[in-house]
Homo-oligomer: A and B are copies of this chain.
């Protein structure tokens, strides 16, 4: 089993509305809960009550299409509103994410980090030492995980920032993007993911559900081909259609039926009848 560590701030944690994009379930994609693996269900994160869709679910689904017989685990450790300083090696977010990653690594091979952060540093000239701090974060994670060449996939900040709602404060997002580019350029096995044409929630700061799904496809393109993805891919929605259209397996049907029963959406007789139909 392979795994990825998800770190950064809210747009990695996910704030896309859960009802605004088709759900993704796949028995080969799991998420770390209490140090163990469970079948993935969104939200992956619970850093906040408002956690929703991030880039990781469609990333994982794209990965799963290319690795039909393999399992992938996601380690959700992104934290809404966190600044780059809060990811420094002595800070609790970094120490906790490393602790979670090490639990995951007892039963999986960590093959990459998905990172998205910078909104909180897009003001007051904080871009001036951002590159140095980001480089230190990446270096520390690789060193602490004893994986000096671990691929790190780095999303750019979206260009809807600086304009409306809570996004208004992030006026220096272009400067931060420049610094992110510099770090990726200078860091072996790190790859940049374009945020071109991503749309926001009405709050003006969080990437919406549909765009997060597209963003995840780009993250996977960067990981798969070990390239910088400089623009929107053009075929993201086509790839997403294949993901959404995938046939539900028996195990997934049982999971969804059991979930609906647990939530009181059907009675026991109906549950048993449907269960028999699925497993016959």
Query: Taking beta carbons and an 8 Å cutoff, which residues of A are in contact with B?
Result: 15, 17, 33-36, 38, 41, 43, 46-50, 77, 79, 92-93, 95-97, 99, 103, 106, 164-165, 201-204, 206, 259, 261-264, 267-268
Can you show 22 pairs from A to B with CB atoms below 8 A apart?
Answer: A17-B264, A34-B77, A34-B79, A34-B93, A34-B96, A34-B97, A35-B93, A35-B96, A36-B93, A36-B96, A49-B259, A50-B262, A50-B263, A95-B103, A96-B103, A99-B103, A165-B268, A202-B261, A202-B264, A203-B261, A203-B264, A203-B268
Which chain B residues border A33 with CB–CB below 8 Å?
Answer: 46-48, 79
In contact, B49 and A268 (Cβ under 8 angstroms): no
* Nearest chain B CB to A266 CB, angstrom units: 9
Which chain B residues border A35 with CB–CB below 8 Å?
Answer: 92-93, 95-96, 99
Closest B residue to A268 using CB positions:
B165
Closest B residue to A263 using CB positions:
B50
> How many Å lie between the Cα of A95 and that of B107 in the bound state?
14
> How many Å lie between the Cα of A104 and that of B203 in the bound state?
32
Which chain B residues border A34 with CB–CB below 8 Å?
Answer: 47, 77, 79, 92-93, 96-97
In contact, A92 and B103 (Cβ under 8 angstroms): yes
Which chain B residues border A204 with CB–CB below 8 Å?
Answer: 268
> How many Å lie between the Cα of A249 and that of B95 in the bound state?
33
Closest B residue to A32 using CB positions:
B96
* Nearest chain B CB to A141 CB, angstrom units: 15
Which chain B residues border A41 with CB–CB below 8 Å?
Answer: 48-49
Which chain B residues border A43 with CB–CB below 8 Å?
Answer: 46
> How many Å lie between the Cα of A36 and that of B86 in the bound state?
11
With contact pairs A164-B268, A263-B50 given, residues A36 and B92 touching in the complex (Cβ less than 8 Å): yes
Which chain B residues border A17 with CB–CB below 8 Å?
Answer: 263-264
8 tightest A-B CB contacts, nearest first: A35-B96, A41-B49, A46-B46, A50-B262, A35-B92, A165-B268, A34-B79, A33-B47
Which chain B residues border A206 with CB–CB below 8 Å?
Answer: 262
With contact pairs A35-B93, A36-B92, A93-B36 given, residues A201 and B264 touching in the complex (Cβ less than 8 Å): yes
Q: Which of A36, A47, A77, A106 has the most CB of B within 10 A?
A: A36
Given contacts A15-B262, A36-B93, A202-B268, 20 further A-B contacts (CB under 8 A): A33-B46, A33-B47, A33-B48, A34-B92, A34-B96, A34-B97, A36-B92, A38-B47, A38-B48, A46-B46, A50-B259, A99-B99, A99-B103, A201-B264, A202-B261, A202-B264, A202-B267, A203-B261, A203-B268, A206-B262
